[in-house]
């Protein structure tokens, strides 16, 4: 099975974005039987304060360590824009020769019946 790192903006409406990420993970689990969705930053966002620079930096350090481990097969970009955190994840993917794919979030928004 391949591991797909799910990148999505998190800042702003954190609760809404967390729910969108969970919806994406559920959809992948139910529709892509050979793919493991991976969004480890959700734990850090829920455990630490993303608005505090020191805590956000720790979360990004955790992400960098996970990319370096070599088990992420691809990076998938979701959401309406590329956030600063997502750009860091793109840079990490490039550093480790991990393919990057831009995904369409519209079907996930429709499944949650929320506005863009």
Q: If DSSP states are collapsed to H, E and C, what string results for the chain? A: CEEEEEECCCCCCHHHHHHHHHHHHHHHHHHCCCEEEECCHHHHHHHCCCCCHHHHHHHHHHHHHHHHHCCCCEEEECCCCCCHHHHHHHHHHHHCCCCEEECCCHHHHHHHCCCC
pLDDT of residue 80: 84
69-88: string of b/e by CB count within 10 Å (b at 16+)?
eeebeebbbbbeeebebbee
pTM here is 0.86
Q: How far is residue 65's CA from residue 93's CA, in Å, rounded to a whole number? A: 12
Residue boundaries of the structural domains of the chain: 2-112
- Mean pLDDT, residues 63-67: 96
CATH superfamily of 2-112: Hypothetical protein PA1492 (3.40.50.10400)
Percent of the chain past pLDDT 90, that is, above it, reads: 71
Q: Kindly indicate the confidence band of residue 114, based on its pLDDT and cuts at 50, 70 and 90.
A: very low
């Amino acid at each position: 099975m391949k591991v797909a790192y799910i990148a999505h903006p998190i800042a702003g409406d954190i609760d809404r974005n967390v729910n969108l990420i969970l919806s994406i993970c559920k959809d992948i689990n139910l529709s892509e039987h050979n793919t493991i969705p991976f969004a480890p930053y959700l734990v850090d966002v829920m455990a630490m304060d993303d608005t505090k620079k020191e805590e956000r930096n720790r979360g990004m350090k955790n992400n960098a360590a996970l990319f370096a481990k070599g088990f992420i097969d691809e990076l998938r970009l979701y959401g309406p824009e590329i956030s600063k955190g997502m750009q860091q994840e793109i840079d990490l993917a490039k550093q480790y020769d991990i393919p990057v794919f831009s995904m369409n979030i519209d079907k996930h928004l429709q499944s949650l019946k929320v506005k863009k």
